[in-house]
């Protein structure tokens, strides 16, 4: 064994990397992942009869019938607006509050700090369904049922632990030196935080915000139980419109397009930020 190793001689040229097979595997996975989505999108452009045929339909005349039904008959724009307001507000609130919590946990040595950060984490362990009834009753008492405010408060609370947990790690990665340097240079603690730490944190904060945004945008269970018409967001609305006595596949397809298109657009626009934010800390030495 060792003998054969010592007998080996260097080849004349450096070895060429041959990893085309990795691309093939990735391509196969992508096709498998993407096909169902593609078919759902196609369904959205079919008419009701075509979409309800049991065998797959690859060729058909596209129609906007389902979109018309959702947007004009059912006024889905109303739900779209609700979703937008709720997820943007909840994202803004949870990221802003969570940022300060995370900063405190990362930077200050206060009594019970470890307990606090553990408690924050355990909040995520509980299955949401377990608190559905208590929250419903609470909302009823506080007259928050079917209000945007109620959903915003709830989503903010739900996302906070995640935000705090993510950002604490990122804050720890930023050396304290930066703030100390700024404070010696004449800044207050808050100025140092705003002008030095925050700009360095921006990619991480953006990435976290995108995650929170997606989670809030797609939230279904609480939205279903806590809203009826006024504050109903997209996910429960779409299910209600497309799944009745029997499933209208074309409506469901159109709904999927309407609910995911904004997200996909959004992520495409900010994906640079997202990737650099998520890999931050590991890339830096």
Partner 1 sequence: MADLLIRDLVKRFGGFTAVDGVDISVGDGEFVFLLGPSGCGKTTTLRMIAGLEMPTGGRIEIGGRNVTYLRPRYRNVGMVFQDYGLYAHMTVFGNIAYPLKVRRMSRDVIAQKVRAVAQTMRIVDVLDRMPDQLAAGQLQRVAIARMLVRDADIFLMDEPMSHLDAQLRGHMRAELRHIQKEIGTTTIFVTHDQLEAMTMADRIIVMNDGKMLQFATPLEIFERPADEFVATFVGEPQMNVMNATLRRGEGGLVADVGAFVVPLDADWTRANALGDQEGKEVRLGIRPEHIRLAAVADALRPVEVELYSFEPTGPENIFVLRTGDVELTTRNPTAETVALARDEGSPMAIGFDPRWIYLFDAQTGRTIAQAAASVSEEELAA
* Footprint of partner 1 (CB under 8 A): 175, 177-178, 180-188, 191, 196, 199-200
Distance CA 44, CA 102 (A): 43
Going from the C-alpha of 1 to that of each of 8, 9, 276, the distances in angstroms are 11, 15, 45
Going from the C-alpha of 151 to that of each of 130, 154, 159, 216, the distances in angstroms are 17, 5, 12, 10
Measured from the CB atom, is 37 or 189 closer to partner 1? 189
Measured from the CB atom, is 106 or 254 closer to partner 1? 106
Least distance to partner 1 from the beta carbon of 19, Å? 30
> CA nearest 95: which of 201, 180, 241, 221?
201
Least distance to partner 1 from the beta carbon of 279, Å? 16
Number of other residues whose CB lies within 10 A of the CB of residue 80? 18
Measured from the CB atom, is 66 or 207 closer to partner 1? 207
Going from the C-alpha of 115 to that of each of 88, 166, 167, the distances in angstroms are 30, 17, 17
Distance CA 122, CA 161 (A): 9
Beta strand ranges found along 142-232 (DSSP E): none
Measured from the CB atom, is 48 or 200 closer to partner 1? 200
**206 in Cβ contact with 266 (< 8 Å):** no
Least distance to partner 1 from the beta carbon of 178, Å? 6
Distance CA 202, CA 275 (A): 12
Going from the C-alpha of 266 to that of each of 35, 211, 213, the distances in angstroms are 22, 11, 10
Least distance to partner 1 from the beta carbon of 69, Å? 50
Least distance to partner 1 from the beta carbon of 113, Å? 15
Measured from the CB atom, is 124 or 176 closer to partner 1? 176
Measured from the CB atom, is 23 or 190 closer to partner 1? 190
Least distance to partner 1 from the beta carbon of 202, Å? 9
Least distance to partner 1 from the beta carbon of 95, Å? 20
Distance CA 182, CA 177 (A): 8
Measured from the CB atom, is 153 or 183 closer to partner 1? 183
**107 in Cβ contact with 158 (< 8 Å):** no
Measured from the CB atom, is 3 or 285 closer to partner 1? 285
Least distance to partner 1 from the beta carbon of 116, Å? 20
Length of the chain: 285
């Amino acid at each position: 064994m060792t003998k054969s190793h010592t007998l080996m001689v260097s080849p004349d040229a450096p070895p060429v990397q041959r990893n085309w097979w990795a691309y093939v595997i990735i391509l196969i996975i992508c096709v498998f992942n993407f096909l169902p989505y593609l078919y759902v999108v196609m369904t959205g452009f079919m008419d009701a009869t075509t979409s309800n045929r049991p065998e797959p339909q690859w060729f058909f005349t596209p129609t906007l019938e389902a979109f018309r039904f959702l947007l004009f008959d059912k006024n889905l724009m109303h739900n779209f607006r609700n979703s937008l307001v709720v997820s943007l507000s909840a994202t803004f609130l949870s990221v802003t509050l969570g940022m300060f919590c995370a900063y405190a946990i990362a930077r200050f040595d206060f009594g019970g700090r470890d307990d606090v950060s553990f408690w924050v984490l355990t909040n995520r362990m509980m299955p949401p369904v377990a608190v559905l009834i208590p929250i419903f009753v609470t909302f009823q008492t506080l007259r928050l049922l079917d209000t945007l405010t109620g959903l915003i408060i709830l989503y903010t609370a739900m996302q906070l632990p995640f935000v705090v947990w993510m950002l604490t790690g990122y804050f720890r990665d930023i050396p304290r030196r930066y703030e100390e340097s700024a404070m010696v240079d004449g800044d207050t603690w808050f100025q140092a935080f705003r002008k030095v730490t925050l700009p360095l944190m921006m990619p991480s904060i953006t990435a976290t915000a995108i995650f929170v945004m997606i989670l809030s945008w797609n939230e279904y269970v609480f939205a279903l139980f806590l809203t009826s018409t006024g504050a109903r967001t997209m996910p429960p609305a779409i299910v209600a419109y497309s799944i009745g006595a029997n499933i209208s596949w074309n409506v469901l397809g159109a709904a999927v397009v309407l609910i995911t298109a904004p997200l996909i657009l959004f992520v495409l626009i900010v994906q640079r930020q997202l990737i650099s934010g998520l890999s931050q800390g590991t890339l830096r030495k």
